[in-house]
Amino acid sequence: MQSYLVKHAAGPVKISAEWEDPVWNRAETAKLEVVSPKSSSHHPCTQVRMLYDAQNLYGLFLVQDQYVCARSQHDQEQVCLDSCVEFFVRPAGEKKYFNFEMNCGGTILLYHIADLFTKDYSHIPLEDLDTVERFHTLPRIVDPEIVEPVTWRLGFRIPLSFFVKYARIDTNLSGQVWHTNFTKCADKSSHPHWLLWQRLPQGSFHQPDAFGELVFE
Determine the pLDDT at residue 203.
Answer: 86
* Domains (range + CATH), the chain: 3-216 (2.60.40.1190)
164: helix, strand or coil: helix
pLDDT beyond 90 at 202? no
Closest CA to 44 of 171, 186, 167, 166: 186
pLDDT band at 143, cuts 50/70/90? very high
Cα dihedral 146, 48, 75, 77 in deg (nearest 10): 70
pLDDT beyond 90 at 107? yes
- Which residue(s) pair with 88 in the sheet? 99, 181
Q: What is the mean pLDDT of residues 61-65?
A: 99
Q: Are the C-beta atoms of 195 and 80 separated by less than 8 Å? A: no
Q: What percent of the chain has pLDDT over 90?
A: 99
Query: pTM of this prediction?
Result: 0.98
Q: Are the C-beta atoms of 200 and 210 separated by less than 8 Å? A: yes
The whole-angstrom separation of Cα 127 and Cα 91 is 21
